[in-house]
């Protein structure tokens, strides 16, 4: 049974455009000014749609996940090898390696999905192996290496989110098996030794009182990744998405955001430095009450954060543990120190009469969305020549 590790305090955010002071985002005040919906044109200068080529080699299955670099798009999906497409025109280039039990084969989970990360500078893909290891492939599709942690290191690779950065692999542990395992750490790429940076001072979840653990796949927009849901005796719950983007790089700074903590931190070898704080007021979700279903309708839970040079995009929920949970999204303008938030997570492209949902940021700092063919309007399907059974369409925001 999975053993989740309780984090610090819950995060949050919301609402219409409002000037704030310093490095505090006043969500409590912004919650009274929610917008019904933002247009793409109010936030970005331009938008482009890139249909991914569809052929027998390039088939993308259910629950696609993608990483976009300056010139290439990596896409994984259920029961498919990792695939590489051209970012400029969406043309299929090649498969990257293969799923398999042979020495160069990488792992898939029980749902048929592969876990992968990319070093855009070195043009290297890291794929999770079968034996608590990483398999490395170049963008040219050639196998490069297999690396694994030293035997003395207590770390299960599948339970962390990673950022690949030159000779270091930065990690964020969201599901700790023991309080001794660091929450934030880095691994030396050459020696595969592990150095702890910080450990959250939190209690372990009462796993001896668990009633059930279930999963919601494909929640990349709603939760940042695949949602694991634990239910405990006494009308208590806990949700987390291991593959949500909780660790990221902004220019030369590396950030981390822990669930149930209202602060975004900058990471260094010396530790964590506060970067931005979400002020929640009465919407704050106290760490000691984070399992409580009762009262969660008046609490905010931040799901994930995406950052580029201009904005911090954040996605959050109220009523997280209830059937009537409500999603929100917001943009914090870093220079102007304003925040724009709305109920729901759909942005409207007025020029193309199309709704989109942001789900990531490229290595060169542009937000992107992904649309399935049946999510396109009829006019856009005809204009782009999209078949209903075709591959997804990447949407770039500039």
**pLDDT tens column, 133-156:** 999 999 999 999 999 988 888 889
Distance CA 354, CA 374 (A): 12
Domain covering 24-397 assigned CATH 2.120.10 in the classification: yes
pLDDT for 238: 94
Beta bridge partners of 347: 356
The C-alpha atoms of residue 102 and residue 338 are separated, in whole angstroms, by: 52
Q: Return the number of other C-beta atoms located less than 10 Å from residue 285's C-beta.
A: 25
The reported pLDDT for the residue numbered 13 is: 31
pLDDT score recorded for residue 288: 82
* Low-confidence residues of the chain: pLDDT under 50: 1-21
Q: Which tokens hold the place of 165?
A: 């950065």
Q: Are 68 and 87 in contact (CB under 8 A)?
A: yes
Confidence at residue 4, expressed as pLDDT on a 0 to 100 scale: 34
Residue 177 confidence (pLDDT): 56
Whether this prediction's pTM lies above 0.75 is answered by yes
Specify the pLDDT at position 153.
Answer: 86
Burial class (CB in 10 A: 0-12, 13-18, 19+), 142: exposed
Q: For residue 317, report the phi and psi dihedrals to the nearest 5 degrees.
A: -130, 150
Q: Are 164 and 117 in contact (CB under 8 A)?
A: yes
* DSSP-derived pairing of the beta strands 65-68 and 311-318: unpaired
SS3 letters for 289-358? HCCECCCHHHCEEEEEEEECCCEEEEEEEECCCCCCCEEEEEEEECCCCEEEEEECCCEEECCCCEEECE
Number of H helices, E strands in the chain: 3, 32
DSSP run (H or E) holding 41: helix 40-43
Distances (CA, A) of 210 to 64, 294, 319: 30, 18, 21
> What integer pLDDT is reported at residue 22 of this predicted model?
61
User: Where are the domains positioned within the chain?
Assistant: 24-397
């Amino acid at each position: 049974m999975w053993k989740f590790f309780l984090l610090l305090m819950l995060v949050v955010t919301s609402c219409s455009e409002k000037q704030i002071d310093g490095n505090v985002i006043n969500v409590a005040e912004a919650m009274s000014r929610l917008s019904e919906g933002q247009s793409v044109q109010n936030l970005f200068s331009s938008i482009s749609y890139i249909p991914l080529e569809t052929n027998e080699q390039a088939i993308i299955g259910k629950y696609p996940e993608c990483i976009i670099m300056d010139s290439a798009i990596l896409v994984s999906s259920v029961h498919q090898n990792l695939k590489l497409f051209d970012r400029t025109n969406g043309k299929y280039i090649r498969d990257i390696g293969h799923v398999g039990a042979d020495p160069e084969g990488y792992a898939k989970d029980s749902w048929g999905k592969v876990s992968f990360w990319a070093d855009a500078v070195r043009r290297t893909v890291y794929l999770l192996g079968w034996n608590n290891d990483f398999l490395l492939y170049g963008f040219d599709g050639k196998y490069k290496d297999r690396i694994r942690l030293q035997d003395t290191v207590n770390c299960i690779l599948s339970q962390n989110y990673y950022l690949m950065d030159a000779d270091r692999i930065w990690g964020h542990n969201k599901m700790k098996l023991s309080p001794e395992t660091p929450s934030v750490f880095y691994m030396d790429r050459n020696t595969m030794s592990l150095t702890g940076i910080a450990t959250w001072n939190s209690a372990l979840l009462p796993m001896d009182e668990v009633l059930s653990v279930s999963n919601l796949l494909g929640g990349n927009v709603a939760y940042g990744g695949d949602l694991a849901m634990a239910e405990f005796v006494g009308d208590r719950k806990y949700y987390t998405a291991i593959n949500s983007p909780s660790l990221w790089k902004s220019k030369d700074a590396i950030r981390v955001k822990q669930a149930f903590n209202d602060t975004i931190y900058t990471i260094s070898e010396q530790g964590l430095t506060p970067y931005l704080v979400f002020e929640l007021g009465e919407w704050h979700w106290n760490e000691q009450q984070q399992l409580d279903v009762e009262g969660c309708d008046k609490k905010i839970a931040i799901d994930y954060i995406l950052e580029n040079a201009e904005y911090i995009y954040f996605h959050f929920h109220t009523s997280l543990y209830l059937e009537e949970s409500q999603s929100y999204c917001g943009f914090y303008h870093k220079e102007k120190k304003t925040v724009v938030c709305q109920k729901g997570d759909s942005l409207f492209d007025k020029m193309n009469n199309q709704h989109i949902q942001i789900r990531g940021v490229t290595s060169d700092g542009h937000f992107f969305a992904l649309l399935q063919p049946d999510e396109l309007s009829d006019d856009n399907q005809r204009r782009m020549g999209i078949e209903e059974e075709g591959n997804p369409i990447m949407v770039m925001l500039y």
